[in-house]
Amino acid sequence: MTGPLLLLGIVVVMVWPIRVFLLKATWTSNTPRAAVILWQSLGLAVGIALFGGCIELAASFSSNPGPRRSLTDVSRSLPVTTVSRLTPNQEFGVTAGLILGAIVIGVLLTRAVGLRRARAYHRQLLDLVAEERVEIPDALVIDHPRATAYTLPGRHGRIVVSSGAVAVLASDELAVVLAHERAHVAAHHDLVLFPFETLASKAPRCHALAAVAEDVRTLLEMAADDYALRVSDPCTFVRALCKLAGDGDPSLSFGSESTTVSRRAERSRPDRGHSSISRRPVA
């Protein structure tokens, strides 16, 4: 029973003290991409530990190689008659691990199909109501008075800005917003955020998952901010962020939720000494 207990202890440590530490850490704002990779590694490690714990639990009921030998034999495509016979307890452990994996994969696939259909419908609407403008390359403009800028993810991601945003933002501020959205498209941030948001949406009462998903979303916005700051100055970025936060839709516009605006603006100060941003003049 040492193996299962050890794996269970690893899961408890990762989902409690390590998770709390990362949520409260301030260094993540300076290195958002590294922090996101750490969150991804943590989630993958929890999943592997849970599945491995089920297999180890099954193996602990007998000194024979039972489940391990069975899985090895099946993976080598040996005849079924050569597969070691499992006891009921061993069968329970192996089945629990397979069910756990099937549930997670099923949840992810179900939401992926739903998102794909929703985005296809969204693209059809954009084809009807949006327009292209020469002065705003690689973006679609929709006629709406509210200042909004967002990215429609997909194989060929689209950047959408409203006529209200075009009216509110100066040319250099609009360039910063477009650079921020291009970073989301180029880095496929929607795929990074997808598993976190999916698991959080399927367990709405689990505040821990919701907090992790929100933190990853904020870190991805900061990673896109870093890209935008490479082609602009911090003052222009902060002005664009505040304008869209004040006049736009916080759920869409430039990732400008009120809870993150001050945090993103603070880290963009030119005197904060953030070495990961190497600024260059706008071409």
- What was the pLDDT predicted at 214? 94
Secondary structure letter of residue 150 according to DSSP: E
Does position 32 have pLDDT exceeding 80, yes or no? Answer: yes
Other residues' Cβ atoms within 10 Å of the Cβ of residue 76: 8
Angstrom distance (rounded) from CA 14 to CA 230:
34
Does position 237 have pLDDT exceeding 80, yes or no? Answer: yes
* Residue 238 tokens, joined: 């902060």
- What was the pLDDT predicted at 61? 58
Sequence letter at residue 257: E
Does position 276 have pLDDT exceeding 50, yes or no? Answer: no
Mean pLDDT, all residues of the chain: 83
* Burial group, residue 137, by CB count within 10 angstroms (0-12, 13-18, 19+): exposed
- What was the pLDDT predicted at 143? 95
Angstrom distance (rounded) from CA 254 to CA 177:
7
- What was the pLDDT predicted at 197? 96
Greater confidence, 246 or 73?
246
**pLDDT-based confidence at residue 136 (cuts at 50, 70, 90):** very high
- What was the pLDDT predicted at 86? 66
Q: Which runs of consecutive H residues, i.e. helices, occur in the chain?
A: 2-13, 19-24, 32-59, 66-75, 88-129, 163-168, 171-187, 189-202, 207-230, 234-247, 258-267
* Residue 133 tokens, joined: 């403008």
- What was the pLDDT predicted at 5? 79
* pTM score over 0.85: no
Q: How far is CA 151 from the centre of its chain?
A: 14
- What was the pLDDT predicted at 266? 86
Angstrom distance (rounded) from CA 219 to CA 35:
7
Mean pLDDT value of segment 216-224: 95
Mean pLDDT value of segment 42-56: 88
Mean pLDDT value of segment 144-166: 92
Greater confidence, 203 or 279?
203
Q: What percent of the chain has pLDDT over 90?
A: 54
Is there a contact between 279 and 256 (Cβ–Cβ < 8 Å)? no
pLDDT, tens only, 89-114: 777 777 888 898 899 999 999 999 99
Angstrom distance (rounded) from CA 78 to CA 225:
53
Does position 225 have pLDDT exceeding 50, yes or no? Answer: yes
* Residue 214 tokens, joined: 């929100």
- What was the pLDDT predicted at 93? 77
Q: For the ranges 102-106, 138-142, 153-157, which has the lowest average pLDDT? A: 153-157
Does position 4 have pLDDT exceeding 80, yes or no? Answer: no
Mean pLDDT value of segment 191-212: 93
Greater confidence, 62 or 188?
188
